Amino acid sequence: MSAGLAGAAILSLATAGSAFAHECFVANRSAQGNAMAGTHSQAWETVSLDTVLTQFLGLPTDLAACVEAKAPAAGIPDSFVFGSKQAVGQGGVIAENNPNMTADGLAANGTGIDHAEDAYGPALGELIGECSA
C-alpha cells in the first residue's frame, strides 16, 4: 500500500463520517450485554470491525485483514454495539455539544458512553500504519 493511501486512511480516522465518528457505545458493558443489546434492541446495532474498516473507513480488504489480525493485541474489539436510535441533539449528536466529552477525556475513558473514534481511533491509526508498511 502506498504511503499516500495509508495517510488517507489514517486521516479518515480523524475525520470519519457519520458512522464511526459519531457512534457511541457503552464501554463497560459485558460481552453478554452487548450480544443482548445488539440482537434484541432497536436502539443498538452490532457492527463488525471488518465493516468499520472496509465500509466506514474504505480500507482495501487485504489491509483490513491485517489490521483485524493485530486488533486484539491492541485492545480493539472484533465488533462494536453502536447506539443507532439515540436521542438526537444539535448537529445530530448530543455529546458533541458537551465540552466535558473531549476536554476531560470522557469520550474514551472506558466507562459509560464512549465515542468509538476517541476510544479506538489512535490505535487503529497505528495498526493501519504498521500494516501498510
Q: What does each of the 133 residues of the chain score in pLDDT, given as a tens digit?
A: 444 444 455 445 444 444 444 577 777 777 788 788 878 877 778 888 898 899 888 999 999 999 999 999 998 888 888 777 665 555 555 555 556 566 566 666 666 677 777 788 888 889 999 999 8
pLDDT at residue 62, rounded to an integer? 95
**The three grid cell numbers given for residue 18, joined into one nine-digit string:** 457519520
Q: Which amino acid appears at position 92 of this protein?
A: G
Measure the CA–CA gap between 59 and 89, rounded to whole angstroms.
30
pLDDT at residue 18, rounded to an integer? 42
pLDDT at residue 79, rounded to an integer? 83
pLDDT at residue 28, rounded to an integer? 78
pLDDT at residue 82, rounded to an integer? 79
Measure the CA–CA gap between 68 and 54, rounded to whole angstroms.
11
- Which residue, among 73, 55, 67, has the nearest Cα to 1 in the 3D structure? 67
- Which residue, among 82, 78, 71, has the nearest Cα to 113 in the 3D structure? 82
pLDDT at residue 105, rounded to an integer? 64
User: Regarding beta strands 113-115 and 44-48, do their DSSP bridges make them parallel or antiparallel, or are they unpaired?
Assistant: unpaired
pLDDT at residue 2, rounded to an integer? 47
User: Using an 8 Å Cβ cutoff, are 63 and 9 in contact?
Assistant: yes
